[in-house]
Structure 1
């Protein structure tokens, strides 16, 4: 990828009169997390130039869709001024791209810290801030093995804005100056909710052939190994609910052909969502499973479901964002590994908006209970939305800290 070496990046020269902030997010999840933060910056600092980078192709494509191609509500301009790829952590690459961007400050979202990059920023006296920062127990133990190096590594940061007091405590254990660390909350709580009025919901339901009696289950951001489990869950659920539709959205849409092949070989009538885009599509028989093979569709699809499952949680991937279905007042199910969203998942469990399902059998059982009772479904949906709505405000706390540091 030439642009990560600093070639053909397309970055425009900095305008002398404008402060330029470089915001970086690793991949899809971090890019989506950054949306409310970027939105707020654009709203509150009109003269601020924002350069946004991602490390992965899927992250870049998502950023392109969210920040450039997709104009936000009530805005007629893009949310960022330029978009590109983060450099490989080689001295030459870092120097070349940082010279092209010429940032006044760097904001890293959640993760993706590299020693050569941090060294180069420190040498140039460019402040680097880590926001929405989290540190898992596994990562902490790894850093503690090389505590002296880790302390120097993280101490080069100007500020660390942690999600929770537990994250703050873990960063402090690495020997980082307490004055650099603050707890601001999780910006995922500030994410914009897709504008899904009843007309748009009805349009999607018509497109998918969903009737009033159809039970709709969305399994989002799934990983390899989970689709086989979900296939078996589907078969069991179909015996209890004749009108049952599963919408399955793998984390990586490029896996859809192999997933489709697997489902069809197991006598499950599955279709890819893209095949429904033609004009006047009519079903001889509504499909059993719809595979979401396009990026950026999942958050809207949660609006039409009766229950949602969060992928990456039945395999060791740390789970994904359970707030997306919670924002639409949906019951949320997830497996035993939600380590990347530990606080949020615990809130959902404690408040009654979510259920932990450690196995295929447990998922089937909980799904039957939820879909079999409108009262349980509505109660869990209300509870999940309460978790979503009562924990906002991290973005403004971050911006206040950035102002204090004279970054914006």
Structure 2
């Protein structure tokens, strides 16, 4: 190890000792009962057994984005995935059985075993991760890399440190030309621009539906309490309201809720399973696989999962179709995907009625940029 590596390891060890009491305190929270022991005490967190393609991501959004890459190589190589967050861990388990929480850096020199390739998503720039993987013989890649205007100044302040990290990264796939320029300034060796790979999996329309003459408002992927909020915020003059619950087991409950709501009101209603039209004022979509088809003809989307403490849902789908996009503020599981969208609004629950009253002032959402994973696939195949 170089002199810098030794100093860094000593400082990381001191940091570990300093945060040790805090870790014990955090363990009182059930949310961290698996993650903290895994990352900081290596409890039930062994090294990857098989030499294969090792992906490292942070949370759910980044882990979802690597699915096409996993699918491309899973039949020929062992797929190993390390993560940082609980949501990332749960998402990674859908892709492979070989999932680990990434240990704290002082454990990595003896935790990391030889892998064919290390592929790291976005801003997971851990010095020991790249150094040790490289020392064990892996080719190292950083994909979907970006450096925002806000973080660029702090990156430059510590440019000497990032040069040390980039020294152990063989190639970087960046989102934009601006990101490429900044990465090269910070010491990156080889950078290729391919766009945002989170937008490589775009929505597919499986059935073309006929557009309606009125404004079509779709409440997509709604959860408990959200349908009630949306119904109470709705007026017939806003347009037609389509409600698509997230979970099919709730279809009957939502049906009863709507039937109760329209009593003594001049509103028509039907279920999509019995009549695949949008003739009524309110339509309950109680069939699976229809959401993107309906987004394609919608003018406005109220995106569920964020008016309750769920974490939000995928904004890429309605933005792809140019819908006016409204969501609640609890988007903590989808922040990375919302960064790919322009012209959406996040509101408090009590603001929904007034927002719908001012629909004419909203702009249609747009995707910031598209992405292409094929250069990454070709690079890995070339190995």
TM normalised by structure 2 equals 0.61
| Structure-1 residue corresponding to 2:192 | 182
CA distance in 2, matches of 1:391, 1:369: 26
Q: Deviation digits for residues 362-388 of structure 1, max 9, x if unmatched?
A: 843563678xxxxx9xxx69xx6xx69
| 1:164 aligns to 2:138 (yes or no) | no
Query: Which of 216, 219, 227 is equivalent to 2:218?
Result: 216
Contact conserved, 1:6 with 1:96, CA < 8 A, in 2? no
Shift, 1:123, TM fit:
3.3
CA distance in 2, matches of 1:24, 1:157: 14
Query: Which of 139, 142, 158 is equivalent to 1:146?
Result: 158
CA distance in 2, matches of 1:132, 1:187: 6
| 1:276 aligns to 2:276 (yes or no) | no
Matches within 5 A, 1:78-157: 80=96, 82-92=97-107, 94-99=108-113, 102-157=114-169
Distance 1:367 1:35, change over 3 A: farther
CA distance in 1, matches of 2:104, 2:325: 38
| 1:30 aligns to 2:59 (yes or no) | no
CA distance in 2, matches of 1:396, 1:368: 40
| 1:285 aligns to 2:263 (yes or no) | no
Contact conserved, 1:132 with 1:162, CA < 8 A, in 2? yes
| Structure-2 residue corresponding to 1:244 | 241
User: SS of the counterpart of 1:48?
Assistant: coil
Distance 1:48 1:321, change over 3 A: same
Contact conserved, 1:25 with 1:111, CA < 8 A, in 2? no
CA distance in 2, matches of 1:141, 1:311: 36
| Structure-2 residue corresponding to 1:264 | none
Aligned residues: 301
Shift, 1:302, TM fit:
5.0
Shift, 1:396, TM fit:
0.8
| Structure-2 residue corresponding to 1:333 | 325
Contact conserved, 2:220 with 2:304, CA < 8 A, in 1? no
| 1:308 aligns to 2:305 (yes or no) | no
Shift, 1:135, TM fit:
1.3
CA distance in 1, matches of 2:166, 2:45: 28
CA distance in 2, matches of 1:10, 1:89: 13
When the two chains are superposed, the root-mean-square deviation of aligned CA atoms in Å is: 4.7
Shift, 1:146, TM fit:
1.6
- Structure 2: runs of 5 or more not aligned: 1-33, 262-287
Q: Deviation digits for residues 92-137 of structure 1, max 9, x if unmatched?
A: 2x245423xx312210122322223233224334332111111111
Shift, 1:35, TM fit:
1.5
CA distance in 2, matches of 1:247, 1:190: 25
- Structure 1: runs of 5 or more not aligned: 68-79, 202-211, 222-226, 250-272, 289-297, 347-354, 371-375
